[in-house]
Amino acid sequence: MLSAPPSRVAIIGAGLSGLTLAIALHRQGIACHLYELRDPTTSTSGALMLSPNALRILDTLGLYKQLSSQGYNFETIAFKNSEEVTTDRYYLGNEKLYQYKALRVYRQVLLTELRAMVDQLHIPVTYGLKFSHIISEDDNGVSFAFVDGSRASADILVGADGIHSTVRKYVAPGVEPKYSGQVAITCAIQKSKIIPEGVDYDMPVAIHGKHGAFVMAPQDIDGSEVLAGTQRAWPEQDRAGWDALLADKEKLLALFRTNIEDWPATAQTALNNVPENTLSIWPYYVVPKLERWYSPGKRVIILGDAAHAIPPTAGQGASQGFEDSFTLAAILPQLGANLPLDTALVYWKDMRQERVDKVIALTLQLNNSRLPQAEREKLEKDGKAWQSGDAGELGWLYNALVEEDVLAWVKTKTKVARTCPVDWITSKLVG
């Protein structure tokens, strides 16, 4: 059993969680190697909503300033009723309450900044290599293979390979992502096509209509481009089926516009101005709750979407991946005689699962607030649909100091916890 910090960590997947883990491990003085199946030139579309818990981690890693200047900074999403009257607000960020505004930023910008830092730190990344399977794990480490037949080894392997994770097949055999029955249909549209010049209209917004919610969220720096979308019940497809639906813009547009006359005026205007080439889909899959996020031999770990892909309504998918990576990187350098890997991993997984469970519960409440009116009102009475309460009520989520929590726990086991150098960013990037 490993009872010293690992000196070689392999990370499968250079997505948001994998890149963050690599930077966070480097900050802790632990060497790692990233393996990514895609080419670095592959570009990704769409934007992400990031809340203070994610932004605090990115800030600690020296990435916040350049990201916030490239995205749309805001505080709340307004909930409007079918008369387009604002009935409630949900805080996705707030400087006074949670230290940071929320940030909506293109995924490509986020990946580019994370990759740039990985390069600056000289962290090795092998692109175009697809992980295939674990060959063996024992007290000396883990060896693994790629689809092209090549092999590698490490003290620990971390699968940050997303919702359809191959590493998870080893950690939790037989567990597959489950389709929720809902697919989001979205488009990117100029705000000026929806809201007349000079009219002040709250955005981001979720308009709660007869058939659910129509969401509009600005996604570029000045808020002039808006993501507009809603979700529909749709039968599960295989990969080819989803690709075919995405390619059939006419069918997608018709689906997007189903019952158009039932939406309030602003949603109708958006639906009448959809730029077809920007139509996109997002079928909601979730990963069932896993018993473990690590293998019996503890040398293989999964995190991010590979461990817990969650529904999107609270905008916490990527943020929980950041937290997983940041906390795992905090705990690994603390391994020692009083803190072997198995004890550390049991604590880490339980602590992470508890937070993910709370996020899932919050997400369900938010989902319920987007249901058709009659169902929503019943659930509101039962306290099962989200309604705002006291100022700062999301402090448990946004103000959590997850690294400090890990170090406090480590101290109970080892009496002292090693902290990472305060001037880490300056020394590594300027030096």
Sole binder of ligand FAD in the list 62, 177, 317, 333 (CB under 6 A): 317
Nearer to ligand FAD, 2 or 117 (CB): 117
68 binds ligand FAD (CB under 6 A): no
166 binds ligand FAD (CB under 6 A): yes
Buried b (16+ CB within 10 A) or exposed e, 232-271: bebeebeeeebeebbeeeeebeebbeeeeeebbebbbbbb
283 binds ligand FAD (CB under 6 A): no
Nearer to ligand FAD, 141 or 204 (CB): 204
Would you list the DSSP string of 396-407?
HHHS--HHHHHH
293 binds ligand FAD (CB under 6 A): no
CB of 233 to ligand FAD, least distance (A): 18
Phi, psi (5° rounding) for residue 408? -65, -40
Total residues interacting with ligand FAD, rule: CB under 6 A? 30
SS3 345: helix
Q: Going by DSSP bridges, is the β-strand pair 72-74/102-106 parallel, antiparallel, or unpaired?
A: antiparallel
304 binds ligand FAD (CB under 6 A): yes
Distance CA 128, CA 15 (A): 13
Identify whether the C-beta of residue 159 lies closer than 8 Å to the C-beta of residue 12. Answer: yes
Buried b (16+ CB within 10 A) or exposed e, 55-81: bbbbbbbbbbeebbebbbbbbbbbbbe
Distance CA 420, CA 426 (A): 13
> Which one of the spans 3-11, 157-165, 352-360, 400-408 is the region binding ligand FAD (CB under 6 A)?
157-165
Nearer to ligand FAD, 25 or 48 (CB): 48
319 binds ligand FAD (CB under 6 A): yes
Distance CA 88, CA 179 (A): 30
93 binds ligand FAD (CB under 6 A): no
Residue in 48, 70, 58, 66 with CA at minimum distance from that of residue 99: 58
321 binds ligand FAD (CB under 6 A): yes
CB of 3 to ligand FAD, least distance (A): 28
Give the footprint of ligand FAD on residues 15-44 (CB under 6 A).
Answer: 15-18, 35-38
297 binds ligand FAD (CB under 6 A): no
Binding residues (CB under 6 A) for ligand FAD: these are 12-18, 35-38, 46, 48-49, 130-131, 160-162, 166, 282, 304-305, 312, 315-319, 321
